Amino acid sequence: MILLQSPSRFLLQILHDRLLSQDKGVDIDCQTVEFDDVRYHIQVSMRNPKVLVLSVALPLPPEEAASFDGLPFGAIEAIKAAYGPVVQILDPPKDGFDLTLKINLAKLPSDEEQKNAILLQIASIREVVLGAPLKILLKNLSMKTVGPEAGQPVALVHRPNESFFVVPQADKATVVYPMRFLDSIDIVLATSFLQEFVEARRTAALNNAPACMWSQSPPPELNGAPESALTANAGFVTFVVNPRHVEGKKLDRTVWNLLTFHAYVSYHVKCSEGFMHTRMRRRVDTLIQALDRAKSDAEKLKKMVTGPSFKK
CA–CA gap between residue 103 and residue 122 (Å, rounded): 9
Q: What is the pLDDT of residue 165?
A: 93
CA–CA gap between residue 248 and residue 208 (Å, rounded): 16
Report which secondary-structure segment, H or E, holds 160.
none
Q: For the segment 41-60, what is each residue's pLDDT rounded down to a tens digit? A: 999 888 888 889 999 999 98
CA 229 to chain CA centroid, Å, is 20
CA–CA gap between residue 87 and residue 51 (Å, rounded): 10
CA-based max dimension of the chain: 107
- What pTM was estimated for this model as a whole? 0.82
Answer whether the bond into residue 72 is a cis peptide, omega within 30°.
no
Q: What is the pLDDT of residue 102?
A: 94
Assign 251 a pLDDT band (cuts: 50, 70, 90).
Answer: very high
Examine the pLDDT at 273 and tell me if it is beyond 90.
no
Q: What is the pLDDT of residue 228?
A: 81
Q: What is the pLDDT of residue 310?
A: 47
Q: What is the pLDDT of residue 127?
A: 93
Task: Work out the angle at residue 9's Cα, subtended by the Cα atoms of residues 39 and 25, and round it to the nearest 5 degrees.
Answer: 90
Q: For the segment 115-142, what is each residue's pLDDT rounded down to a tens digit? A: 889 999 999 999 999 999 999 999 999 8
CA–CA gap between residue 120 and residue 2 (Å, rounded): 20
CA–CA gap between residue 235 and residue 214 (Å, rounded): 7
Task: Starting at the earlier edge strand, list the strands of the sheet with 38-44.
Answer: 28-34, 38-44, 51-57, 99-104, 87-90
Examine the pLDDT at 178 and tell me if it is beyond 90.
yes
